[in-house]
Amino acid sequence: MLTHYIRNFFQKFLFRLGKRLKLLLVLLAGTTISLVIMIDMAARVTPAVNTYTTSWIGNTFGGGEKWVQIHIGGMYVAPDGTVYTNSPWDEGGREVGIYKNGDVIGKAEDLHGWARLGGVAVTANQKYIFVAMQQSHGGSQGGDDPPTGTNWHCVRRYDLSGKPAPFPEGRGWDKSMLIVSTKSEVTGLATAQGVLYVSDPATNRIRFYKIDTMKELGSFSVTNPGQIAFDRQGDLWIIQRKSNGTQAKIVHYSKEGKLLPSVVANVENPTAIAVDRQGKLLVAENGSPQQVLIYSGTKPVLTGTLGIKGGIYTGIPGEVKDKKFYGLSGVGTDALGNIYISNDGFNHSGVDLRKFSQAGELQWRLLGLQFVDNADADPATDGVHVYTKHEHFVMDYSKPAGSQWTYKGYTLNALKYPQDPRLHTAPDAPFFRRIQGKPFLFLTDMYSSGLQIYRFQKATDGEIAIPSGMFVGTNAEGKPAIQGNWPPNQPTAGEWIWRDSSGNGAFDRVEYDSSKDYPYIGGWWVDSKGNVWKVLRTQDGIGIRKFPLQGLDAKGNPIYTYGSMQKQKTPSMITDLRRIEYIPDTDTMYLSGFTKEHPANGDDWGVVGSEILRFDNWSKGNRTPKWRTVIPYDVTGKREVYTEAMSISGDYVFTVTGKTAEVYVYKTETGTQLRKLKPGAEVASSSGWIDIPYGIRAFHRSNGEYLVFVEEDEKAKIIMYQLPK
């Protein structure tokens, strides 16, 4: 199971294809001592708990036909200011986005699917959009797709409205694809005078094609070519990407393929280029400068920059400002000299697309920041400060839905802390906690295989969440807990706790505490006192692990050890333990899982289970539940309806179903279901599936209001329900 922990960005979502589900309500009758079991959830629902409103965080738009995509790998800006973007994947299907004047105006059709991906290059002329994309076996509607095990790395032609534009000898079901390679992706596209130029790094060539027919006219050699831009003389500037330890540079060729003497070599990590109306070369520098570099002259000389040097990490590190960039992935310019910048964060942590005037003043900004993520509130601020796995938002709840959040901080510093687990794994839902008054961010992952810990040190690191600690589970195959070259120095078998005792955010050899345990984890919890809880799906009856907080070390890291770990018995009625939430102030334990009366149908990994149980006086040894509540679970095994996540706050237990994304509200006192929450008109009354074990998080504010955050990765945001007291 732990090998799933480091699956790459796109493999995670191929797994979701298996979620074919069918609705079934579970009926249960019977009572035991101090026990309440729901009989028919629909019949037992009490009157509504006041009204509620729907809002969202992290995307400029609420959904429906308008949302900002989750990733930009390539960008082109037309003379009229239309912005075309490309990305390998967008959950809602906007792999290729079309934007103008700070608005979403369209997307390329028929690009989203399990056998089809977008790419990292895009361009357009007065008639067509040209999109780098990938076609695999099994996605064809008309019988023309590659054989099993082969991928077509293509250029697909579209009209300007985003509809495929077929051509003679085109490939794919609608004859709109030009196969460039079966070895590696297309990395650059540009057009001039009726000719399309294509970077083909698999053969170290630039290929060019007649646009009307898409027939190849010729090619020339360029080692490892990337993004392309034409200058006013009709010559090409080409990013020559890093290869085998060589330094990236930008080379200059005639359109016939003659190498010209001009070269830009003093760059670290150029990711995109464009030429403005004055003939200046704009370079998106994604190295330490985090700026757009502006070069002038036939022998390019650096004459200007856009953006503050050092980007998001200068001044107050991580603080979001108009001219602080981070993870630049695209640059472009229109006929008026306006400059467009796409920030993609680091490790594809969200889209931040900006337009600047020729004078360098921000004109508009579009955000699509959340993907497989959730939010949690800082309890010390009464929910005014909210954190996700990468972002810090400041909330003003008096404002209308969708406008309550302000993007305050980007908490990942890839340059200072290159071993940050967020750069090497795929964490998602946060727990935000105050321990001895100090703020900490804890992150889990889709497979519950680990728990990451981050501390904050405002004086030196501003908004940055500093890698502080990490738990991982035991690999079932006796291998290292995490496969691959990261993290360095990890134990060769079993599981481990890492603590950054040196304070450098790196995994040093002496910083591991190791052990071995049952490998299959049901879930994690961090209580309000800073204790970490882990539940195992073990059948031996001792499935609860408590790691009591041992204080903070000299660097401010919370201390957890295997020597202080406590093993606690699983209540006898639970056969497969999945989630745990313990409330220290009332000594109340909430557990969920499958029970003897309501067993799982197969393994059914990832779900909450079939019941939630409340236990009072837990620390005193009580294992008799105050109540048991049956929750939505499809006993047919088809998973049409199932409970994906739960969260307890104040007077309520909140759960959310995986496919339908409905929030169920139960009374903590009795376990009785009170109502359901569904996405409102503010978010087009829709939501994607809930993909993560902690896809819901509730927070009770001092004014009695409840905030309920729910993962919504389809349209790159987090849904937020507000329930008045």
Non-local CB neighbours of 423 within 8 Å, separated by 6+ positions: 346, 347, 412, 414
Angle, CA 440 vertex, CA 434 and CA 446 arms, to 5°: 120
Taking alpha carbons only, the member of 558, 571, 573, 662 closest to residue 616 is 571
Share of the chain above pLDDT 70, in %: 93
Question: Residue 637: what pLDDT?
Answer: 84
pLDDT > 70? residue 705: yes
pLDDT bin (cut points 50, 70, 90) of residue 135 is very high
- SS3 sequence of 111-172: CCECCEECCCCEEECCCEEEEEEEECCCCCCCCCCCCCCCCEEEEEEEECCCCECCCCCCEC
User: pLDDT tens-digit profile of 459-499?
Assistant: 999 999 999 999 999 999 999 999 999 999 999 999 999 99
Question: Region 618-631: what's the mean pLDDT?
Answer: 98
Question: Residue 28: what pLDDT?
Answer: 29
pLDDT bin (cut points 50, 70, 90) of residue 247 is confident
pLDDT > 90? residue 539: no
pLDDT > 50? residue 66: yes
User: pLDDT tens-digit profile of 299-313?
Assistant: 899 999 999 999 999
What is the average pLDDT value for the chain, to the nearest integer?
92
Taking alpha carbons only, the member of 618, 649, 614 closest to residue 628 is 614
pLDDT > 70? residue 298: yes
Question: Residue 19: what pLDDT?
Answer: 33
Question: Residue 565: what pLDDT?
Answer: 98
Question: Region 286-304: what's the mean pLDDT?
Answer: 96
User: pLDDT tens-digit profile of 74-88?
Assistant: 999 999 999 999 999
The DSSP string of 220-281 is EE-SSEEEEEE-TTS-EEEEE---TTPPPEEEEE-TTSPEEEEEE---S-EEEEEE-TTSPE
Residues in the chain, how many?
725
Give the H/E segment covering residue 460. helix 458-461
Taking alpha carbons only, the member of 344, 347, 387 closest to residue 369 is 344
The CATH architecture assigned to 224-350 reads 6 Propeller (2.120)
User: pLDDT tens-digit profile of 498-535?
Assistant: 999 999 999 999 999 999 999 999 999 999 999 999 99
Non-local CB neighbours of 348 within 8 Å, separated by 6+ positions: 9, 70, 71, 371
Contact 197, 228 (CB under 8 A): yes
3-state secondary structure of 188: strand
Cis peptide preceding 487, ω within 30 of 0: yes
Contact 386, 379 (CB under 8 A): no
Q: What is the DSSP letter of 379?
A: G
Q: Which CATH number fits domain 2-58+374-723: 3.40.630.30, 3.40.50.620, 3.60.20.40, 2.130.10.10?
A: 2.130.10.10
Q: Whole-prediction pTM value?
A: 0.92
pLDDT > 90? residue 5: no
Question: Residue 141: what pLDDT?
Answer: 64
Name the residue ranges covered by the structural domains of the chain.
Answer: 2-58+374-723, 69-186, 224-350
Q: Nearest 5°: phi and psi at 16?
A: -65, -15
Q: Nearest 5°: phi and psi at 461?
A: -125, 5
Pairing of strands 521-526, 512-515: unpaired
User: pLDDT tens-digit profile of 193-243?
Assistant: 999 999 999 999 999 999 999 999 999 999 999 999 999 999 999 999 888
Non-local CB neighbours of 604 within 8 Å, separated by 6+ positions: 594, 637, 639, 642
What region does 419 belong to: left with phi over 0, alpha with psi -120 to 50, or beta?
alpha
Residue type at 383?
A: G
How far apart are the C-alpha atoms of 50 and 651, rounded to whole Å? 14
pLDDT > 90? residue 6: no
